[in-house]
Amino acid sequence: MATDALTILARPALTGARMVLGLSGWMNGGDVSTGTIEHLVSILKAAPLARIAPDRFYLYNFPGPMEVSALFRPHTVVEDGLVKSYEPPTNEFHCDAANRLILFQGKEPHLDWTGYGECLLAVAAAFDVRTIWFVGSYAGVVPHTRDPRIYSSVSDAAMKPALEAHGIRFSNYQGPAGISTYLTRLAAERGVRLATLVAEIPAYVHGTNPRCIEAVTRRLSAILGLQVDLGALRTLSDRFEARVNEAVRSRGELGEMVHKMEAEYDSELFETQMGDLKEWLEQQGIRLD
């Protein structure tokens, strides 16, 4: 059975729990998916709950040139002829019982989506998880000085009004599917609600993006009703933005592009989220065009 790969480490008593998933791979630009989970585990001091053994879900020996094959292999460190570490993919659940919250951080599987999904849903069933949230990201046309836009797809249309209240938009997409789409369908079949929260982050900023991680963590915390201290993450975000600002200023054409994106972002925000204010101003004879 696929769930033979699952090991439960603790048995907290949970009722009406929530689960948040973060995966490296397909939708983890800026490390937003895994970074959000990592920071919540740290901030909430969540305890180990369960893990999924990796071997049946990943390719290690991928055919092709070394630079391609290397992307699939476990990382190792050898010093002076001694193997210091060997790191296969990890898939770990943590639990914050006080908030009825399970946090999962893993690596998107190469193989057996069905078995991997069964492991996730087995944990959901074991701890009375009623709602699952998948956090992801993709590169888009958004400036680094603004919060990322967040899009969602849901297993149940009844989830949409609450998400709209938090400024979440809804996805329109055709193309290759990620495992989050498969999990959305699977959750619906099992009577568990699942929603994705996918952030559109700046395409021109590479590597870990603390600003987007902070923005997504803040929005997710609001949706879940979590009282969390994001001060340290906000400090990282501010320092990161200052470094990117400096890099942008040193490249004139990039700076012009960013200013244009900021203007378009602010205009769209005003049109979509401040329509009532715009209408009132126009009623007072104050035109904005």
- Give the model confidence (pLDDT) of 206-257 as tens digits: 999 999 999 999 999 999 999 999 999 999 999 999 999 988 888 878 888 8
pLDDT tens for residues 113-153? 999 999 999 999 999 999 999 999 999 989 998 999 999 99
Q: Name the 3-class secondary structure at 85.
A: strand
Q: Within this chain, do residues 261 and 165 fall inside the same structural domain, yes or no?
A: no
Q: Within this chain, do residues 152 and 36 fall inside the same structural domain, yes or no?
A: yes
Q: Name the 3-class secondary structure at 149.
A: strand
DSSP H or E run through 199: strand 193-202
In a domain, 158, yes or no: yes
Per the prediction, the chain carries an average pLDDT of 91
Quote the tokens at residue 44.
């909430």
Domain count for the chain: 2
pLDDT tens for residues 23-72? 998 899 999 999 999 999 999 999 999 999 999 999 998 888 888 888 88
pTM above 0.75, yes or no: yes
Q: Within this chain, do residues 31 and 168 fall inside the same structural domain, yes or no?
A: yes
Cβ-count burial of 241 within 10 angstroms (0-12 exposed, 13-18 middle, 19+ buried)? middle
CATH number, domain of 15, equals 3.40.50.10900
Q: How far, in whole angstroms, is CA 172 from its chain's centroid?
A: 18
Q: Within this chain, do residues 214 and 253 fall inside the same structural domain, yes or no?
A: no
Q: Within this chain, do residues 38 and 156 fall inside the same structural domain, yes or no?
A: yes
For the beta carbon of residue 266, count every other beta carbon within 10 angstroms: 12
Q: Which of 60-64, 158-162, 194-198, 231-235 has the lowest mean pLDDT?
A: 60-64
Q: What distance in Å separates the CA atoms of residue 31 and residue 185, rounded to the nearest whole number?
A: 25
What pLDDT was estimated at residue 95? 98
Task: Give the residue among 197, 199, 58, 50 at the shortest CA–CA distance from 132.
Answer: 197
In a domain, 35, yes or no: yes
- Domain span at residue 257 reads 242-283
Q: Per-residue pLDDT for 198 more than 60? A: yes
